[in-house]
Amino acid sequence: MSLKICVIGSGAREEALKDIISKSPLCKGIVCSAQDNPDLIIFGPEQPICDGLVDYYSSKGIKCIGVNKKFSALESSKLFAKKFMVNHGIKCAKLLPIESDIFPQVVKADGLCKGKGVKVVYCQSEKDEFTRKIPKPYFIEEYLEGNEISFMSYFNGQRLINFCPARDFKRLTSDIKSPNTGGMGAYCPVDLTEIQKEKLNIYLELLQAALIEEGADFNGFIYSGLIWAKNDWYVLEYNVRLGDPECQAILNYLDNDFLSIILNNEEPVYRSGYSACLTIASKGYPDNPIKGDEIILPQDDRVKVYFAGVKSENDRIYSNGGRVLSLCTVAENPFPLLKNYAEKIIMEHKIFRDDINIF
């Protein structure tokens, strides 16, 4: 079996998917559009998944890797996700009354907001300002304190195949009040204690049972945003896709064929050391990034560079978005290597986090 595969989406996550998939013996070729008669469509971003395109193309007889419309509400409606968790005994932050004055607390808009619908607020005026500008409905939940992991699983229609825990760095800078971004870097694996591993297995059993009980019949990725608080894992969010940049870290860490995992139910096998990814963004990101800087990349075979927001003209490349490049490597100590590479990139308005590391 060798397939013509379409990857939907155009960011660094999708570039990494295409890079890894194109090396698989199960891949005959990559096409860019669902009009090119692919044998398989892999969905990257949430929007087409939440718009129901998995259901649409599946109904045309094309095999799709993506969560179906019904379960995409795990990401597109935080209230749906909350009910799903509560109904199946999955731990999550407690809902608070909308007028709660216990601070800090967390305000969450119900719908898809590209990372802008959630904020930890520390006082009433901050709450008022945020709730005025987000889409309605929104809800309030208890603030949990702890370290977070991004846990990605593949549901094959019957059971979960789990990847190793990853971690992303969502804030623009190290300041806890700096804005949420799509992720300024990521690494995997995250080293867990024995108790954390045990509790993670319990959570994953609950998630799998919940999906089966609710009649899930898709092949797709579920991302659990987990926080270690009160000696257990609590779910902060679900996404119905691979995380960006966590996906780049995981895919480059694999020592076996990604397509064999999603098509033939193989368990993931990993390389040694850590796999890391560093985002090069453009000044002004996330709100108003400067575009059009010429980019010149240093030569270093240890670093893979995926284009996120780049355009090319006459053999030159230019920044063309907030998230511009995704730098990846696998090493015992990967971040110093990536930061060193990042410093040498020529791009007038580049920004990146030089404080992130494995912890």
- Is residue 246 within 8 Å of residue 150, measured between CB atoms? yes
The helix (H) or strand (E) run that includes residue 251 is helix 246-253
149 binds ligand AMP (CB under 6 A): no
Gap between the Cα atoms of 169 and 353, Å rounded: 9
- Which one among 67, 118, 240, 281 touches ligand AMP, defined by CB under 6 A? 118
Gap between the Cα atoms of 294 and 148, Å rounded: 36
Interface region with ligand AMP, contact rule CB under 6 A, candidates 44-52, 58-66, 139-147, 340-348? 139-147
Task: Find, among 281, 272, 325, the residue nearest to 303 by Cα.
Answer: 325
246 binds ligand AMP (CB under 6 A): no
Gap between the Cα atoms of 171 and 119, Å rounded: 12
Token pair for 48: 């087409």
Unique residue bearing structure tokens 């208890």: 142
Task: Please give the full DSSP string across 35-46, using - where no structure is assigned.
Answer: GG--SEEEE-SH
CB 240, min distance to ligand GLY, A: 10
75 binds ligand GLY (CB under 6 A): no
- Which one among 239, 252, 326, 329 touches ligand GLY, defined by CB under 6 A? 239
Gap between the Cα atoms of 58 and 70, Å rounded: 14
Gap between the Cα atoms of 318 and 167, Å rounded: 29
CB 120, min distance to ligand AMP, A: 5
- Residue 312: how many other CB atoms lie within 10 Å: 11
Q: What angle do CA 199, 189, 226 make, to 5 degrees?
A: 40
225 binds ligand AMP (CB under 6 A): yes
Residue 56 or 143 having the CB closest to ligand AMP: 143
The count of chain residues that interact with ligand GLY, using the rule CB under 6 A, is 6
CB 118, min distance to ligand GLY, A: 11
Interface region with ligand GLY, contact rule CB under 6 A, candidates 76-84, 156-164, 242-250, 333-341? 242-250
Hey, CA dihedral for 57, 221, 157, 260, is it positive or negative?
Answer: positive
- Which one among 143, 172, 357, 358 touches ligand AMP, defined by CB under 6 A? 143
CB 105, min distance to ligand AMP, A: 8
- Which one among 110, 148, 246, 257 touches ligand GLY, defined by CB under 6 A? 246
Helices 246-253 & 12-22 angle (0-180, nearest 10): 20
* 160 interacts with, out of ligand GLY, ligand AMP, none, CB within 5 to 8 A per kind: none
- Residue 316: how many other CB atoms lie within 10 Å: 10
Residue 110 or 168 having the CB closest to ligand GLY: 168
- Which one among 110, 141, 244, 257 touches ligand AMP, defined by CB under 6 A? 141
- Which one among 14, 75, 148, 257 touches ligand AMP, defined by CB under 6 A? 148
Measured in whole angstroms, the distance separating CA 332 from the mean position of its chain's CA atoms is: 23
Interface region with ligand AMP, contact rule CB under 6 A, candidates 51-59, 143-151, 247-255, 345-353? 143-151
Interface residue list for ligand AMP (CB under 6 A): 93, 106, 118, 120, 141, 143-144, 148, 170, 180, 225, 236-237
